[in-house]
Chains A and B, each alone.
Chain A
Amino acid sequence: MTTETNNTIQFTPERLAKAQEIIARYPEGRQKSALLPLLHLLQEQEGWTSPEGMDYVARLLDIQPIEVYEVATFYTMYHLHPVGKHVIEYCRTGPCCLMGGEEVLAHLKQRLGIETGQTTVDGQFTLKEVECLAACGMGPVFQIREKYYMNLTNDRVDEILDELSK
């Protein structure tokens, strides 16, 4: 069963060209290998991985929508619900906690006025707790898009949020 929708999502011409370049990287008949990169491309454009977007990716790859859904729901990096302008992915794992990560997270939640998984009312920030970000020597650490913020303290968190809120 497919769940085709009357969606209007499609990649911008630049992203479509990028998507086609990605698909061409794989051997003939192995275009499904492009699925994870294309979902990243979709999320970069739309802000989240919507069902309509997943259907669109399925059509691009000539695979069933269910094949996209089962992948998107397995990996933690795809946002399956709308998110804020800035998604803060906060490392909650051991080495960061040893360096005060839990205290800084508590401060971050207080400052934003939200709990993990929520978005601020102004739509600016979404807070996600994630597992190890591979920056353990520089913890506590969080990531916003491609940028890592390391050696976090309460003051440093305030500075970052002030800067991003401008």
Chain B
Amino acid sequence: MATKILTEHINVPGIETFDVYRKQGGYTAVEKALKTMTPEAIVEEVKKAGVRGRGGAGFPMGMKWSFLAKPEGVPRYLVCNADESEPGTFKDHYLMKNIPHLLIEGMIISSFALGANKSFIYVRGELMYVIHILEKAIAEATAKGFLGKNILGSGYDLELVVQPGGGAYICGEETALLESLEGKRGNPRNKPPFPAVKGLYQCPTVVNNVESIATTAWIVNNGGDAYAAIGIGRSTGTKLISASGHINKPGVYEIELGVPVEDFIYADEWCGGIRPGHKFKALVAGGSSVPILPANLALTLANGEKRLMSYESLSEGGFQTGTMLGSGGFIVFDETSCIVRNTWNFSRFYHHESCGQCSPCREGTGWMEKVLHRIEYGHGHRHDIDLLVDVARKIEGNTICPLGDAAAWPVASAIRHFRDEFEWHITNPQEATQPGAVYRGEMALV
């Protein structure tokens, strides 16, 4: 039986309430942390666990915590990034609405470890009903003495604030999130200084994803070594995967990292296979920003071994033959999917969501969307494909924040692996623009 760190109790009726969560062993980690551990000991356990940031970047969480500056007389802040907006990703939404106390317990432990007395959960504004769920859970936890002044008689104080966003994907970038939390436009900041030195209100700040913070209760209860024993290599622990697209069982699944991609797609325990009568064509494994892979590369490494659901295995081969685990937004495409149309769709998303601060991103995303639109609608030119590659290359790495990369990678990878499909659109515009028309040329369907 696979270990469930985050979702073991998620289907227990009433688990969103304090009392039911408590009956399932909830808040014992807070008791243990505040009564028997020092902040430094908690940081040490998180480091031992080897948790990598679950928002998409995969940066080691314990290392991020250890960077936090600790000047005397200056407040420190923990900010939970719950601005989940990456197409294909809906795991934080699922976690917060179903088991809000798990996040709150994690926030208390993490805030204690970091020496923060006021912490924020920044939730995308679209999830207003989730915001109400969190606020209710915070009120319950406060009434029971797990939040507020002198928590459990430990002398530690913590106030937890839920902040609604206003609808902007860029606010998932940590410095843009901090700007937004300060009541400004969500424009990313130049780094350095990093938030660990100058973050919210120019004070030392840690920004962590919902899923990352939610793991801390289990780590405190079971130890960092136990967490590190789950998973594979440097991909320790479990990961929530949001599965969507042409599969039989879309949903959020908690897996131990290291499961073969093939098993995740076809096993009844998870996605349950490609929808009946269809074949697997392509995969976006980690949210819309990561490179798309054709079916054969999604399932198999260059050496013939099975590709695994882990940070290392998914990126094996670099971007030529690999991708990224990212946020775990797992989108499956069958043979009815038009890669050009999907690429245009994602490109439209990034153009819409660019904050407009950097010229390569502001202009480049719009340019790519326009070129992809004309290819999709039968007006492409022969040089458009190379133009797209060139624009993507000029955006990548040339912006303040990673949104530029996120916009460039889907386009570059789609052309890398499905160039013949783009060419077909340009050379056969009448056929390509028929309703439901999809390229049926040479490609490895599984």
Residues of A within 8 A of B (CB): 25-27, 30, 32-37, 39-40, 61, 67, 70-71, 74-78, 89, 92-95, 97-99, 130-139, 143, 145-148
Contact = CB atoms under 8 A, between A and B. Distances in A.
A135 B93 contact: yes
The 9 closest A-B pairs by CB, nearest first: A75-B166, A137-B250, A77-B167, A32-B183, A35-B183, A76-B167, A136-B244, A74-B185, A132-B87
Contact of B342 (A27, A34, A78, A94): A94
Interface string B2-25: 000000000000000000000000
Contacts, number: 144
A97 B242 CA distance: 16
B319 to A, nearest CB: 20
Contacts of B337: 98
B84 interface: yes
Nearest to B125: A77
Nearest to A26: B161
Interface string B253-273: 000000000000000000000
Nearest to B329: A136
Given A74-B168, A147-B129, A94 B182 contact: no
B244 A95 contact: yes
Contacts of B142: none
Contacts of A67: 183
Contacts of A27: 75, 118, 201
A25 B127 CA distance: 20
B331 A136 contact: yes
Contacts of B251: 137
A98 B245 contact: yes
A40 B163 CA distance: 11
20 contacts: A33-B163, A33-B181, A61-B183, A70-B185, A71-B166, A71-B184, A75-B166, A76-B166, A77-B126, A78-B167, A93-B349, A94-B331, A95-B244, A132-B169, A134-B124, A136-B244, A136-B250, A143-B126, A146-B128, A146-B129
The interface centre, meaning the residue of B186, B244, B246 with most chain A CB atoms within 10 A of its CB, is B244
A146 B132 CA distance: 10
Nearest to B288: A94
B85 interface: yes
Contacts of B326: none
A146 B124 CA distance: 12
B164 A40 contact: yes
Contact of B250 (A30, A134, A138): A138
